Amino acid sequence: MILLQTAAIFRDAYRELNARKLFWLALILSGAVVLSFLLVSFEDGYLKLFIWKTPLALSAMGVTPATFYKLIFLEYGVKLWLAWIATIIAIVTTAGIIPEFVSGGAIDLALSKPIGRVRLFLTKYVAALLFVALQVTVFATLSFLVLGLRGATWEPGIFLAIPLMIIFFSYLYCISALVGLLTRSTIAAMILTLLFWFFLFILNNSDTILFTFKANNEQILKNEQQRVVILEQARDEPDRPDEPGDGGLKGAFLGAMTSGFDQQKLDRAIERRDATRKDVEALERWHGRIIAVKTVFPKTSETIDLLQRALIELAQLEQFSDAMSDSGEPPPERVVVDDDGEETTEVYLDEDDQRAVSQAQLHEFRARSILWIVGTSLGFEAVILGLCCWIFARRDY
């Protein structure tokens, strides 16, 4: 009896979605996005767009055809299409399901049947997720075939996109359901859900930016400390012969610092080191606060990135990141004005430093546990759904 009632609600939800033009538009666009991957190829180690061969030598970056197709699937298929454009279409399409259900005659007919209110609401809620489930299933199936035929790699891990995208969308849809239940307004549900999503986007960007600043300043602090040590050695051992640099700009600078001791130079180096240490400590505090706030709310970006963990190994990402950061350009410099008003230039962060920062960022986000990413996010959703069930069970219709 329970299974028949649940199946009937799911059939109604499918018919409702089937009647919406945006559902079919999104389905067609999903197929078009995947088929567009066929226009991009990997030929003789170079990227080729349809019939145009680009000068981008992917093989020199250590990218294989399999890794290349997985990267474009993740970056453009998942992160751009599914996690942004298709999600916006899904929010617009499903925003009216709960408001229309509780404000029209449908609620009277549903409540007249022998089914509990909590189960009725939860079944309706899960049925609304059919939009994303059907869209992602079509997208993942076509992507699996394209990667197998084009990239010569058959990746069953692609189908992890189905549960991950459903979970990702459910973070947002629980807000849509709550607002729709409270206001019975489709417009309010849609707008407030988009605003909530924007808040999560700002929160995630704050996390990334603060961590990057912190990692940059930690590397700068390491360099500043190295300068102080060299100057102190020049002070304590004035007759010590100069040591050759490592061949780079930073090495030449460090070697030049030992050519003669200057107390003012040491004082300025200590001052910069201490100021940088304070910056690192402040950034660590603010980053910790952002992480604490993120723990309470859904982690949308990290949930999507779990698919990358399943498809691409960390070593492959590190190799690709190193190749992309190896620009061949001189490292950035900064101008320092001494007490006499004279300007000198120092190497700020050279390519090795930038590579270290990039690797630290990769390791930081990969080290975050699935329990923290998905578990706490589903905990937030459970609280919102509990509130929805309580309101739905107690309200008179």
Compute the average pLDDT of residues 97-122. 72
- Indicate the angle between helix axes 351-367 and 300-311, nearest 10 degrees: 100
pLDDT of residue 346: 53
User: In the prediction, which pLDDT does 164 show?
Assistant: 93
Q: What is the pLDDT of residue 9?
A: 67
| Alpha carbons 360 and 212: distance in angstroms, whole number | 9
Q: pLDDT category, 252, cuts 50, 70, 90?
A: very low
Among 81-85, 146-150, 216-220, 376-380, top mean pLDDT goes to: 376-380
Q: Encode pLDDT of 2-11 as tens digits.
A: 667 667 666 7
Q: What is the pLDDT of residues 22-61, one digit of tens each?
A: 777 877 888 888 887 777 766 666 666 666 666 556 655 5
CA–CA distance, 367 with 383 (Å, rounded to integer): 26
Report the percentage of the chain scoring pLDDT > 90: 27
Residue that the structure tokens 């859904």 belong to: 298
Determine how β-strand 52-57 pairs with β-strand 40-43: unpaired
DSSP H or E stretch at residue 49? strand 46-49
Which pLDDT value is given to residue 258? 47
Confidence of residue 326 (pLDDT cuts 50, 70, 90): low
Burial of 248 (0-12, 13-18, 19+ CB in 10 A): middle
The predicted pLDDT at position 50 comes to 63
Residue 292 pLDDT exceeds 90: yes
Helices within 95-185 (DSSP H only):
97-103, 106-111, 117-128, 130-150, 161-183
**Helices first, then strands: H and E counts in the chain:** 17, 5
CA distance 325 to 6: 53
How far is residue 396's CA from residue 387's CA, in Å, rounded to a whole number?
Answer: 16
**78 or 49, which is more confident:** 78
Check: CB of residue 151 under 8 Å from CB of residue 70: yes
The pLDDT mean for the chain works out to: 78
- Note whether 33 and 139 are within 8 A (CB): yes
> Encoding tokens for residue 119?
């189960």
pLDDT at 350: 62
Bridge partners of 380? none
| Residue from 65, 254, 51, 95 nearest 155 by CA | 65
**Could you give the C-alpha distances from 276 to 223, 242, 251, 271, 273, in angstroms and in order?**
10, 27, 21, 9, 5
Q: For 162-174, write each residue's pLDDT tens digit.
A: 999 999 999 999 9
In this prediction, residues 336-350 reach a mean pLDDT of 53
